[in-house]
């Protein structure tokens, strides 16, 4: 018979995941929606870029002329803006957010991000059911709830919500595309991938993966989706005033104070090295090579979770701000499951997560701002840990793409 101490331990163990989930929800509400500790900034201030670009597209004016766009931002929102960096396929979102007032656009993006967070939780739940290695395993429900808590409560999720950014929105469609592709629903997967290209730097390596996998129908539907989403800018401004102008606008955008390598919220190995006085060229070739190596070794990992390391490669080697780390919380589940019965591995995961999620403002307040760059190192180590810890003993069969 179980002892009273054993029963008490079991009860406590069953309560802890729920308590962690409640703490995550509280953190999102307080720091993401209520703005506790956010100073004088306004909720969802970044969504103003979509509002203004939508207003301009409604008037058939291209938002990709930096001087004109900045003038509109100044007159409508009293913001000293950088260039509009989203591609023309962002037009549907911009037009939707500009249907009312600036204040209404802030409310709408807050609701959109709440829906996106719910979508991330649904991804974790669905991915677990596509992973034959964990079905019926003990503590799966506990690991799932803890993962939900990290997805909801990590500081980057709150940051995306408070800023009114689109990382979560892009990520939820990207993860949806990945799930649908696992089920061989390539038309829907392509549609979701095309929508996720709202943030092309986040979707790029997933698109490369599908290219390596010869998912031609998926990629064709994705391209058609991007084209359809950019139909209004193409119709009103032509290719020169839409896609070509966007490329030119990116040059001005990357020269903005908030987007250069030395800016504290720009994230990645290039920024890490630049902070140490080491300037290196684009790490995109490394990102592509890493994706290829991961693809070649895919049989050694559960396919449904491989989206995690692909996203880590995107964040470290393509281009990102620190808030783009928000969707990486999904790797919590496979890491927790793989670390079961391995206290040293679990301790390493917790330590690396602590470094990644430790508030940058605290480092700044104690005059140790340079230590915030330890997050890039921690994320790289977490990727290495994932590749070692989550490797399966027997290679899984790789399903061949349909001809």
Domain ranges within the chain, ordered by starting residue: 17-389
Dihedral sign of CA atoms 401, 116, 120, 44 in order: positive
Segment 379-397 shows an average pLDDT of 87
Per-residue pLDDT at 133 exceeds 50 = yes
The CA radius of gyration of the chain, in Å to the nearest whole number, is 22
- How far are the Cα atoms of 137, 263, 269, 328, 350 from residue 346, in angstroms, in the given order? 18, 32, 25, 17, 6
Determine the Cα–Cα distance for residues 175 and 172; give it in Å rounded to an integer.
5
| Residue from 205, 132, 115 nearest 169 by CA | 115
Determine the Cα–Cα distance for residues 173 and 151; give it in Å rounded to an integer.
16
The residue with tokens 């969504």 is 47
- pLDDT score recorded for residue 1: 46
| Residue from 257, 271, 296 nearest 373 by CA | 271
3-state class (DSSP) for residue 266 = strand
Per-residue pLDDT at 224 exceeds 50 = yes
Determine the Cα–Cα distance for residues 159 and 305; give it in Å rounded to an integer.
25
- pLDDT score recorded for residue 394: 67
User: 304-349 pLDDT, tens per residue?
Assistant: 999 999 999 999 999 999 999 999 999 999 999 999 999 999 999 9
pTM, whole model, 2 decimals? Answer: 0.92
> When comparing pLDDT for 251 and 348, which is higher?
348
Q: How far, rounded to the nearest angstrom, does the alpha carbon of residue 306 sit from its chain's CA centroid?
A: 14
The residue with tokens 């895919």 is 298
The residue with tokens 């080491």 is 278
Confidence of residue 7 (pLDDT cuts 50, 70, 90): very low
User: Any idea which of 181-185, 221-225, 254-258 has the lowest mean pLDDT?
Assistant: 254-258
CB 154 within 8 A of CB 333: no
Helix (H) or strand (E) holding 286: helix 284-296
Per-residue pLDDT at 371 exceeds 90 = no
């Amino acid at each position: 018979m179980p002892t009273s101490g054993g029963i008490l331990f079991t009860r406590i163990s069953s309560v802890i995941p729920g308590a962690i989930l409640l703490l995550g929800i509280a953190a999102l509400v307080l720091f993401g929606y209520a703005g506790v500790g956010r100073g004088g900034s306004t909720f969802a201030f970044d969504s103003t870029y979509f509002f203004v670009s939508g207003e301009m597209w409604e008037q058939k004016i291209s938002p990709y002329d930096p001087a004109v766009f900045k003038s509109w931002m100044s007159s409508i929102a009293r913001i000293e803006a950088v260039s509009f960096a989203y591609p023309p396929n962002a037009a549907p979102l911009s037009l939707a957010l500009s249907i009312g007032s600036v204040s209404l656009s802030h409310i709408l993006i807050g609701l959109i991000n709440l829906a996106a967070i719910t979508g991330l939780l649904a991804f974790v739940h669905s991915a677990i059911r596509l992973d034959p290695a964990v079905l019926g395993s003990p503590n799966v429900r506990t690991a799932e709830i803890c993962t939900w808590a990290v997805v909801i409560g990590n500081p980057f999720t709150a940051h995306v919500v408070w800023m009114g950014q689109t990382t979560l929105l892009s990520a939820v469609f990207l993860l949806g595309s990945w799930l649908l592709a696992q089920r061989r629903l390539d038309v829907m997967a392509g549609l979701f991938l095309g929508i996720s290209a709202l943030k092309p730097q986040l979707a790029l390596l997933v698109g490369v993966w599908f290219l390596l996998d010869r998912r031609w129908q998926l990629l064709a539907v994705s391209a058609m989706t991007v084209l359809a989403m950019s139909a209004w800018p193409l119709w009103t401004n032509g290719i020169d005033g839409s896609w070509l102008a966007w490329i030119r606008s990116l040059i001005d955008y990357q020269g903005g104070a908030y987007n250069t390598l030395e800016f504290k919220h720009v994230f990645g190995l290039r920024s890490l090295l630049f902070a140490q006085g080491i300037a290196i060229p684009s790490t995109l070739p490394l990102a592509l090579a890493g994706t290829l190596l991961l693809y070649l070794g895919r049989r050694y990992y559960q396919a449904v979770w491989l989206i995690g390391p692909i996203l880590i490669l995107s964040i470290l080697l393509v281009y990102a701000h620190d808030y783009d780390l928000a969707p990486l919380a999904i790797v919590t589940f496979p890491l927790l499951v793989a670390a079961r019965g391995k206290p040293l591995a679990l301790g390493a995961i917790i330590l690396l997560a602590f470094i990644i999620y430790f508030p940058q403002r605290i480092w700044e307040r104690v005059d140790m701002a340079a230590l915030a760059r330890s997050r890039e190192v921690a994320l790289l180590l977490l990727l290495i840990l994932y590749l070692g810890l989550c490797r399966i003993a027997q290679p899984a069969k790789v399903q061949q793409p349909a001809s």
